[in-house]
Amino acid sequence: MTVRRRFRSGSPAGHRHRPWPLCRHCCGLALDLGSARTRAWIAGRGMVLDVPTITFPGAGAVYPVQRGAIVDVPGTARMLDRLLSPRLPRLTRPLVVVTAPVLDGPAYRERARAAVEVLRPRAVLTVPTARAIALAAGADLSLPLLVVDIGAHLTEVVLLVDGLVFDARRTALGTTDLAGTTDLADADATAEISEAISTMFTSMLRQDRTSLTAEALSRGALLAGGGALRPDLTHRLAGGTHAPLRAVPTPHTAAIRGAATMLRAAHGHPSARGTSPPGPGPLFR
């Protein structure tokens, strides 16, 4: 199913808390909570985490993020506490930037902020994943840009105009759907994802009363996420869309790298000082 919208706990053994940074207010954390993997970047240390998004409340494993939605806030909080609390400087309150799927809206942002509270943040800022990807790619945000993010459980196609989300589509398909039991099943899933993306492109073109989508598509869509590492998928997608595609370098980590870039620029944002801005700004929500 495709959805559209238009816009304008404890320390593990062997880990010790890091010493205070020279500036306690400079402690920062970028976080990408994916359905399959969770990645974290700490200011001054780089990427410190790239692990499966999983928690263990009892005898079995639980996946707290599914199809791009946080379905278990306490489980997500336990996971973050276990993985990140030992890696953060003691007694500091980090500024946290969290990537967010474009079409999950306020519900995702509210759940993400609730889960991150376990880290005692000074402030939590959320940023659209598509914008983070564009920054990681060094894209020219003064021009209309199409971003295709093929994740583990979710694929989003987003049109950015002046760096802001102008239009977006999504489908609940991703790279986990490519793990077929046979070559035929795998090929069928590849075709389904490719066709879903082509359909989203067509829908955006038809409903855009401007020339922005066509302009962005003519220059080439930016391809990111784990799906960009699948040659079978990218080849089929290029043939099905008849449009140029530009893969982001190391596309599976583009979102966290872009969030880290935003973190470096975030300290002057009103939310970082503990006050809420009057409305959505160009960088954060």
Task: Read off the pLDDT band of 188 (50, 70, 90).
Answer: confident
CATH of the domain at 36: 3.30.420.40
113 found inside a domain: yes
Are 212 and 168 members of one domain? Answer: yes
Q: What is the pLDDT of residues 118-143, one digit of tens each?
A: 999 999 999 999 999 999 999 999 99
Are the CB atoms for 174 and 154 separated by under 8 Å? yes
In-domain check, residue 158: yes
Query: Does 192 lie in the same domain as 237?
Result: yes
Looking at the structure of the chain, the number of domains it has is 2
Mean pLDDT over residues 192-211, rounded? 94
Asked whether the beta carbons of 283 and 262 are under 8 A apart, the reply is yes
Return the pLDDT at 11: 36
| Tokens, residue 267 | 């300290």
Q: Which domain holds residue 34?
A: 28-131+254-269
Domain assignment present for residue 12? The answer is no
- For residues 246 and 258, membership in a common domain is answered with no
